[in-house]
Amino acid sequence: MGKIIVGLDIGTTKIACFVGRKNEHGKIEILSMGKTESLGVMRGMVSNIEKTIQSIDGAVKEAEERIEGELDIKSVNVGIAGQHIKSIQHRGIYTRSNIETEISQSDINRLVDDMYKMAMPPGEQIITVLPQEYIIDNEQGIKDPIGMSGVRLEANFHIITGNIGASLNIHKCVERTGLKVKDIILEPIASADAVLTEEEKEAGVVLVDIGGGTTDVAIFHEGIIRHTAVIPFGGNVITEDIKEGCAIMKRQAEKLKQKFGSALASESQENEVVAIPGLRGRAPKEITLRNLASIIQARMEEIIDLVHYEIRNSGFDKKLIGGIVVTGGGAQLKHTTQLFEYITGMDSRIGYPTEHLANTNNEAIKSPMYATGIGLVHKGFEDLERMARTNSESEVAGSGDVKTHSNKTRGSFFDSMIKRGKTWFVDED
């Protein structure tokens, strides 16, 4: 069957498990998928351990059962989001001891490892370190330094930080289902991998992933990630607004939003009416689609205003030729891109997770709501290729003690978090 990577998207509304492999053309084939309702997650963070464990277990078992023959999932790449996520910019420096050798992946790994040793405020931990551009002996603007010569290797890094407790809770939920966390990846980074083209990243583009609990933003320019942010509003807030504004049940509000919802009230006719069944013994409730769209548009405008603020705050608002790519479950709302264009003045399109996906007859997998899960699988294969390059360099050098930022390193990162979490509950005598 070849090498298998599993992505686990722990969202506010759903938990989805994707099993994928790479074909001979370098495209990802999704072999199986399992999905369950997310019962223990609120705004991207675990709020109920037991319910989250049940949902994860259900999604993983469904993915295993869908594959002919036996598939036993052992480890997963997990996405992380939530309003606790922050990003900082930092520069790292590494002085090489041997100028006669070329800069290798091992040198870059050493530089990245040093970033993970940065001192952080209490309760926070570095989740991901993303190199932006490299400087070799004061020569700036280098995107790929491998194979070049130089003594002083520097890099500008985009560092993602998050709450230790939030990461520990995700780790705990996954491990208690009998799985191992291979890596924790920021969800907008995974979604960007699934829906953005390299050309868009080079030109400058904003990825907006509208999930159930949060809206994630990632800004790229010249092929480099420049800014990330998490907005604590998503599709669930819109559902709550419909529930309150129309005085109906939450499940009815969700169905109403999915089937008849629109982000532009002007696109709905005043005489279009939908009837909602009343509670036992009560008459049906009639709701005009113009009124429904007005409720949705008011909340969507608030979300888009916050996205626009993050775009301006990044300092790249005048350089984003690629405009905005909207993905996630919220992108399925009618006229969403038109509202984005009206408020931001930037070109917009819906992002489908087909950029690295092999042709498939399963159209459901191509839905924007699965962008994060498919992106997690793709990131897993990227990590495998990076590790393979490092290992081949070690073999060529004839040395087995090259320090790399591998899965083993990442595992010790989680181990240190778990140990630190335990010490919080030890009485100090």
Mean pLDDT of the chain: 87
Q: Is residue 408 part of a domain?
A: yes
pLDDT tens digits for 198-252? Answer: 999 999 999 999 999 999 999 999 999 999 999 989 999 999 999 999 999 999 9
Residue with tokens 């370098």: 26
The helix/strand count (H/E) of the chain reads as: 11, 18
- pLDDT at position 417 over 80: no
Q: Is residue 74 part of a domain?
A: yes
Q: What is the pLDDT of residue 175?
A: 94
Q: Which residue segment(s) compose the domain that 415 sits in?
A: 1-84+162-196+355-429
Total structural domains within the chain: 1
C-beta atoms surrounding 138 within 10 Å: 8
pLDDT tens digits for 46-74? Answer: 999 999 999 999 999 999 888 766 678 89
Q: Which residues contact 379 (CB under 8 A, 6 or more apart)?
A: 7, 77, 183, 185, 189, 190, 193
pTM of the predicted protein model: 0.85
- pLDDT at position 424 over 60: no
Q: Is residue 260 part of a domain?
A: no
CATH number at residue 39: 3.30.420.40
pLDDT tens digits for 136-166? Answer: 998 998 989 999 999 999 999 999 999 999 9
Specify the 3-state DSSP secondary structure of 228: strand
Helix (H) or strand (E) holding 79: strand 75-80
Q: What are phi and psi of 181, to 5 degrees?
A: -80, 110
Q: Average pLDDT in the 368-381 region?
A: 94
Q: What is the pLDDT of residue 358?
A: 86
Q: Is residue 138 part of a domain?
A: no
Q: Is residue 412 part of a domain?
A: yes
Q: Average pLDDT in the 342-371 region?
A: 90
Q: Is residue 69 part of a domain?
A: yes
Q: What is the DSSP string of 5-19?
A: EEEEEE-SSEEEEEE
Contact in structure between 389 and 105 (CB atoms under 8 Å): yes
Contact in structure between 216 and 81 (CB atoms under 8 Å): yes
- pLDDT at position 401 over 60: no
Distance (Å, whole) CA 67 – CA 11: 23
Q: What are phi and psi of 173, to 5 degrees?
A: -60, -45
Q: Is residue 337 part of a domain?
A: no
Q: Which of 190-204, 243-257, 356-370 has the lowest mean pLDDT?
A: 356-370
Q: Is residue 41 part of a domain?
A: yes
